Structure 1
């Protein structure tokens, strides 16, 4: 004889009330949107990671707070996150293993913190990551292998940092990258092989750097930019020499002008402005020259001669006679 439950409805109701507190748990400082699986805690002056975040949260916003450190246990119970925003905080360091539970994370924004450097293992678990924003985090160094496992990454923002150089091997794993922003750093060169290897790249932002526009360091990149103008946001690159801007390099410049600009010590515009008046002085207008010549001849005719002109040596008076005539009155006055 099959067993039956007398109160099936009661069991379902009890189970509902047992699970309900887990679903409705929400930090006091946050707004939880259950239907969207989103928890939003921006502008709350949080100094510690909020507790009681629902386990099924997919989107977590912690922007504009005062978080300084986060432990490895932070995400142990919210492992389904797809998007995480922690920008505009005071994070100074993220230990290796910090993102280990977030294997499903697709979007990560760490902008406007104080990280300084990125270790080679920090992002290793984030194999599903699509967008990574590291803008204005005072980056000076990114260790080799930091992006090794980010083969699905499509957008990388490294703008407004202190990076001086990016190696070819650092970005080589990002074969699906569509957007790369390295604007407003301290970069002086960018290997053209980097952008050539990123076959799917659609947008490259490189303005606001201190490019040394020598034929050796930037010549190949300049050629790539000319062939891919629709991908680059900078119509002009500013060339620097000893941290001072010396010229503007247009993507339409020829190869010869590129190398000439690289050897200049002053901006090209100022050189042209200085040379223009000089050329005007050295090369007067041909139409005005005959007229000016006639005026000069007319002035010479009208001016009285300041010295006597003599046709030949016979017409010149004897200088000794002049001296004698000048001395006679003087001697006569002396003997009177």
Structure 2
């Protein structure tokens, strides 16, 4: 085929494919060398025209409310995603299913209220995760970080967390830094397992360590959560408070009362049984005596009848 005849269908398909990969840079964003920067562009939705070969994506300081898995999943080469300071409220199942190469993820300073247990299920290469400054985020499921086995830095500062399940960190063997300050930690007995985890995990100490403190109960308010394990162990395992003593006293009283009632009922049943047995014995004795009298009378009458010389009384 000569050049004069124009490009063939193969060339057109190749050009179309390259156009999809290259993409057209989103409006008001800067695209260069596999990096897209859309910082502070007042975006309300996730941009759909991002080049598919993008490796670093900056969406911080916008008003984006959600991360659509369909569009995000097209960016299979993405390793760095910054969504800081947006209005994202939820991260649903498999949101990041297509960006399994992701190493850095920043979801800080959003309006997060819910993180699905399977949100990060495919992010096995994730090294740094920032979810700080989401004051409405009060709960994390124990399987939230189950597959993020490469995670080294986890930032959970200034959220609404009151407790965490220690099993949530069971698979994070590479974890080096864990930031927990600014949360209203409730250091009750259900917090004990996580407090023990903090004691034995040998995480790298940081300036954040002493700022992560208990808010409740009152006797532990202000205690660093990294040092509350032993006091909690004493309070919850080896020490009984006034409520515990009252509870044990009530149990003892109930056992005593139940035993007393059972003994009284048993005694009454025994007395009634003995009375019934005695009455039955008396009735049997009367019947036996009557039978003896009748027999003796019959024998006597027989002797009288058989002996004509026996004096007749009548």
- Whether TM exceeds 0.5 here: the answer is yes
Alignment of 1:79-228 (within 5 A): 79-161=52-134, 162-214=136-188, 216-227=189-200, 228=202
1:63 paired to 2:44:
no
For 1:243 and 1:112, locate their aligned partners in 2 and report how far apart those are by CA, in whole Å. 34
Highest CA radius of gyration, 1 or 2? Answer: 2
SS at match of 1:138: coil
Q: 1:74 aligns with which of 49, 60, 66?
A: 49
Match of 2:221 among 223, 246, 249: 246
1:19-34 maps to which residues of 2 (within 5 A)? 29=28, 33=32
Alignment CA distance shift 1:94-1:32 (3 Å) = closer
Count of matched residue pairs: 221
2: distance between equivalents of 1:102 and 1:258? 48
CA separation in 1, counterparts of 2:116 and 2:130? 16
Q: Contact 2:182–2:211 (CA<8 Å) still a contact in 1? A: no
**3-state SS in 1 of match to 2:75:** coil
SS at match of 2:74: coil
**DSSP 3-state at the match of 1:218:** helix
Q: Distance in 1 between matches of 2:26 and 2:198?
A: 50
- Whether the 8 Å contact between 2:87 and 2:111 is mirrored in structure 1 is yes
- Give the gaps of 5 or more residues in structure 2: 3-14, 240-314
Mapped to 2, the partners of 1:250 and 1:242 lie a distance apart of 12
Q: Deviations over 1:180-230 (max 9, x none)?
A: 11111010111122223210001100111111101x322222222233252
Taking a change above 3 Å as real, the CA distance of residues 180 and 26 of structure 1, as seen in their structure-2 partners, is: closer
Q: Is the 8 A contact 2:214 2:223 kept in 1?
A: yes
Evaluate the alpha carbon distance shift between residue 86 and residue 212 of structure 1 in structure 2; reply closer, same or farther with a 3 A threshold: same
Task: Describe the shift of the 1:208–1:98 C-alpha distance in structure 2 as closer, same or farther (beyond 3 A).
Answer: same
- Indicate how the Cα distance of structure 1 residues 154 and 252 shifts in structure 2: closer, same or farther if over 3 A, else same: same
Q: TM-score, normalised by structure 2?
A: 0.61
Q: What does the per-residue CA deviation read over 1:15-60, in whole Å, with 9 as the maximum and x for residues that have no partner?
A: xxxx9xx99x978845565xxx1xxxxxxxxxxxxxxxxxxxx011
Is the contact between residue 168 and residue 194 of structure 1 (CA under 8 Å) also seen in structure 2? yes
Q: Segments of 4+ in structure 1 off by > 4 A?
A: 25-33, 242-245, 257-261
SS state at 2:199 partner? helix
Query: Is the 1:98–1:122 contact (alpha carbons within 8 Å) kept by the matching residues of 2?
Result: no
Tell me: CA distance 1:27–1:223, structure 2 relative to 1, closer, same or farther (3 Å): closer
**Partners in 1 of 2:143 and 2:41 — Cα distance?**
35
1:105 positional shift = 0.3
Q: Quick one: structure 1 residues 226 and 81, their matched pair in 2 at CA, closer, same or farther if it must change by over 3 Å?
A: same
Bigger mean CA deviation after superposition, 247-256 or 187-196? 247-256
TM-score (norm 1): 0.57
Structure 2 distance, partners of 1:27, 1:206, is 36
**Alpha-carbon RMSD:** 3.5
What residue ranges of structure 1 are gaps of 5+ in the alignment? 6-18, 38-57, 264-336
Cα shift at 1:167: 1.4
